[in-house]
């Protein structure tokens, strides 16, 4: 029995000593989320053309490729996939994360005949999901052509991630892995081609057979290839098969149609306001509706750029609202109108007593100054290059009129009206903050705004995450409005 177990373990980690061919094609990177990191390799198109989007392929390696060298994960499949892409003139983004030694993509024994999907992803899988979402947000990825594949332990990972994110990927190719058959109904519409060796004694062939049967029973039509007489190594034949890779690259997800947002317009203290409620079936009966307070609400804002974020909020039953206070720059008059909107939405519209504030650019002055006076009413604050310092933008000479003061008078009372000077009560309430800000921003400089705010908030003991985007300024870059981290932060705090 011990001998059999030793053979199985040897097969599971096969390939560790293999050579990594063409690893110069894959840039070594590190993904960071808080205090956690995940090593990964990325291949990019030789030339990224402006306005063009490219497929993304994610490869999950097996147990033998775990470690901290950021190389082993390329041993199986990576070179085959990229070579095929080049040979067929199909430029792609390709990422291969590396699971640390001692951890797993999915916390379940590999030798069992079945398992139940863990409630939450493993530590390594959670980081991998964050990496994928950040890659999609930061790079010109075609959202209709995101593919995932993996072998052995990575086969389990492939099944796990598509079970958790069934609408995210265009196609999946799990190789000699195992899944939770109870999750099969989620995958009935996804293009899947599964592979397994007919004589696999490490991850039993039954695992793939059972999952494919379950998906078919649920109404799906997955493809399945079983290699007769082959043991655990079913990946070599799979990744070298041009027909298989041709099939993968042909898959394309039909973009999910989202209904136009129904914006209700009304007046608050004589000022234009709006409210977007989520669909009725997304609202929890008898409970206050969680909501996002967006600023600035000026002519044309919010606009089309924010729709991706708003759609995600709607899907989670979160409303969005705002009011146009003009170029008030966070002045007392503007704050008074904000308070009127808050009271109206909570008392008459059934919205939650705690709002999630989402500030873009000068919306930071408006929302932060209101939040400083109403910390008990704030669930969290998120910012997209937000103004946090009146002296930096728009400057005291330009802002003083909104405050009905001279620039000299405003300078004397600056600590009463400047967000970076009004953080104490928010920090005391442990209000979570998340900002994304570019290091090339010359309109709202990082160091004088989000950077300075974080420095002071940290000193006060408040929880804040600042994500600095290298090479970006004060612009309409799509990544600002497609930040999954920011959206997830808001959703988590809205639903908390």
Give the pLDDT confidence score for residue 262 in this predicted structure: 83
Superfamily, domain 2-250: Alpha/Beta hydrolase fold, catalytic domain (3.40.50.1820)
Give the pLDDT confidence score for residue 18 in this predicted structure: 36
**What count of residues does the chain have?**
496
What's the rounded mean pLDDT across residues 110-117? 95
Domain 263-494, second-level architecture = 3-Layer(aba) Sandwich (3.40)
Q: Is the pLDDT of residue 46 over 80?
A: yes
- Could you give the residue range(s) of every CATH 3.40.50.1820 domain in the chain? 2-250, 263-494
Lowest mean pLDDT of 37-41, 122-126, 251-255, 309-313, name the range: 251-255
Q: Is the pLDDT of residue 5 over 50?
A: no
Q: Is the pLDDT of residue 2 over 50?
A: no
Lowest mean pLDDT of 15-24, 86-95, 360-369, 411-420, name the range: 15-24
Percent of the chain residues past pLDDT 90, beyond the cut: 86
pLDDT in tens, 319-344: 999 999 999 999 999 999 999 999 99
Q: Is the pLDDT of residue 69 over 50?
A: yes
Give the phi and the psi of residue 275 in degrees, each rounded to 5: -145, 125
The more confident residue out of 286 and 392 is 392
Q: Is the pLDDT of residue 256 over 80?
A: no
pLDDT in tens, 403-415: 999 999 999 999 9
Q: Is the pLDDT of residue 298 over 60?
A: yes
Q: Is the pLDDT of residue 314 over 60?
A: yes
Q: Is the pLDDT of residue 10 over 70?
A: no
What's the rounded mean pLDDT across residues 279-304? 90
- The pLDDT confidence band at residue 260, using thresholds 50, 70 and 90, is low
Give the pLDDT confidence score for residue 478 in this predicted structure: 81
Q: Calculate the average pLDDT of the chain.
A: 93
Q: Is the pLDDT of residue 151 over 90?
A: yes
Give the pLDDT confidence score for residue 14 in this predicted structure: 38
Give the pLDDT confidence score for residue 13 in this predicted structure: 40
Burial class from Cβ neighbours inside 10 Å (0-12, 13-18, 19+) for residue 236 reads middle
């Amino acid at each position: 029995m011990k001998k059999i177990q030793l053979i199985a373990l040897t097969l599971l980690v096969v390939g560790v000593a293999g050579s990594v061919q063409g690893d110069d094609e894959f840039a070594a990177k590190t993904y960071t989320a808080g205090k956690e990191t995940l090593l990964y390799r990325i291949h990019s198109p030789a030339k990224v053309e402006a306005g063009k989007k490219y497929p993304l392929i994610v490869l999950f390696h097996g147990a033998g490729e775990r470690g901290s060298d950021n190389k082993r994960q390329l041993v199986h499949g990576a070179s085959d996939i990229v070579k095929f892409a080049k040979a067929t003139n199909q430029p792609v983004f390709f990422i291969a994360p590396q699971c640390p030694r001692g951890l797993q993509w999915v916390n379940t024994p590999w030798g069992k005949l079945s398992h139940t999907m863990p409630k939450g992803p493993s530590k390594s899988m959670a980081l991998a999901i964050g990496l994928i979402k950040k890659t999609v947000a930061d790079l010109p990825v075609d959202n209709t052509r995101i593919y995932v594949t993996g072998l052995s332990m990575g086969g389990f990972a492939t099944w796990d991630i598509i079970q958790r994110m069934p609408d995210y990927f265009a196609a999946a190719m799990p190789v000699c892995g195992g899944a939770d058959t109870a999750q099969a109904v989620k995958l009935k519409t996804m293009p899947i081609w599964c592979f397994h060796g007919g004589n696999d004694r490490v991850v039993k062939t039954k695992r793939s057979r059972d999952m494919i049967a379950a998906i078919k029973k649920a109404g799906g039509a997955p493809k399945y290839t079983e290699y007769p007489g082959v043991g655990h190594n079913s990946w070599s034949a799979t990744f070298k098969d041009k027909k298989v890779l041709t099939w993968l690259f042909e898959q394309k997800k039909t973009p999910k149609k989202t209904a136009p947002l129904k914006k209700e317009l009304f007046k608050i203290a004589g000022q234009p306001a709006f409210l977007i409620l989520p669909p009725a079936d997304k609202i929890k009966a008898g409970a206050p509706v969680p909501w996002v307070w967006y600023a600035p609400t000026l002519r044309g804002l919010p606009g089309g750029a924010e729709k991706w974020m708003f759609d995600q909020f709607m899907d989670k039953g979160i409303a969005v609202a705002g009011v146009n206070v003009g170029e008030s720059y966070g002045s007392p008059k503007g704050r008074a109108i904000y308070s009127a909107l808050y009271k109206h939405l909570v008392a008459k519209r059934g919205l939650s007593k705690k709002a999630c504030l989402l500030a873009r650019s000068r919306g930071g002055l408006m929302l932060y100054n209101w939040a400083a006076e109403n910390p008990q009413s704030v669930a969290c604050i998120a910012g997209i290059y937000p103004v946090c310092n009146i002296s930096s933008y728009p400057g005291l000479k330009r802002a003083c009129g909104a405050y009905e003061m001279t620039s000299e008078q405003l300078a004397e009372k600056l600590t009463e009206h400047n967000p970076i000077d009004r953080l104490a009560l928010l920090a005391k309430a442990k209000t979570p903050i998340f900002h994304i800000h570019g290091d090339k921003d010359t309109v709202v400089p990082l160091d004088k705004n989000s950077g300075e705010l974080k420095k002071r908030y940290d000193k006060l003991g408040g929880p804040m995450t600042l994500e600095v985007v290298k090479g970006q300024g004060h612009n309409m870059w799509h990544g600002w409005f497609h930040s999954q981290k920011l959206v997830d932060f808001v959703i988590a705090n809205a639903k908390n």
